[in-house]
Chains A and B, each alone.
Chain A
Amino acid sequence: AIQMTQSPSSLSASVGDRVTITCRASQGIRNDLGWYQQKPGKAPKLLIYGASSLHSGVPSRFSGSGSGTDFTLTISSLQPEDFATYYCLQDYNYPLTFGQGTKLEIK
C-alpha cells in the first residue's frame, strides 16, 4: 500500500497568515491526490482534487500543487473558519490511503 506522510502533524497560526501543509507519497502517484477538511464532529469536506483543482464552492484562498510524490496545500490568508484538520488522500490505486492529518489551531 502507498504510504502518505503529512507534515506537520499540527500547526498553530493566526488569522491572516499564509499556511502550507505538505503530503509525501511513498511512491509516485502522478497527480492523483485530494485534500479534505474536517471540523470536529463533522464529516470531511473536499477542497482540492487532482492535486490542484479547486472543488466547486471552495474559497480561492485554498490552493494545491505538486505531482509525483510531493504535494502541498496552501491557505493564502487564514480565516477563522479554516481552523480544522486537513487530510490528503491518494486515489492513484487501491487501497486508497489518507495522510495522518494536520491539525490547524489558532495561535
Chain B
Amino acid sequence: DVQLLESGGGLVQPGGSLRLSCATSEFTFRRYAMNWVRQAPGKGLEWVSTFSDTGNTYYGDSVKGRFTISRDNSKGTLYLQMNSLRAEDTAVYYCAKGTGIAKGSDYYYYMDVWGKGTTVTVSS
C-alpha cells in the first residue's frame, strides 16, 4: 500500500516561511497528481494546491502568489514552499495522492491516499 508522510510543520512568525515535505516510498509516484489540503482548527477541509502528473500546478485563491508546490519524482517527494505566512494559514496540512481513471467515456479524479498531516502554526 502507498503511504504518505508529511513533515516540516512547526511554529513560525507572521511573514515567515516554511517548507513542507510529503514523502512516499511508492516508486510510481511520478504517475500521479499530488495535492495539499489543509484544515484550520475546528474548521472544514480546504484544498490548497495540486501538482498534476503532467506538470501543471494549481493553487487556491487564498495562497496564490505566496505558496509554491513542487515535486521531486526521483525522491518520491512532494513539497509546499509557504512564504509570507499569515495567522489564517494555521492549519493541519495533509498531502493526498490524486488518482485519475477512465471508465467508459467518463474520467474521474479522486484523492485516495492521505498522509496523517503536519501542523503549521503561524503566531508571534
Contact = CB atoms under 8 A, between A and B. Distances in A.
Looking at chain B's contact residues, the main secondary structure is strand
B110 A44 contact: no
Interface stretch (B7-15, B77-85, B101-109): B101-109
Interface stretch (A17-25, A70-78, A93-101): A93-101
Nearest to B115: A43
A32 B109 contact: yes
B117 to A, nearest CB: 6
Interface residues of B, number: 24
Contact of A100 (B35, B44, B61, B94): B44
Taking residues whose C-beta sits less than 8 angstroms from the other chain, chain A's interface range is 20 to 34
A101 B44 contact: yes
Contacts of A97: 47
B114 A94 contact: no
B7 to A, nearest CB: 15
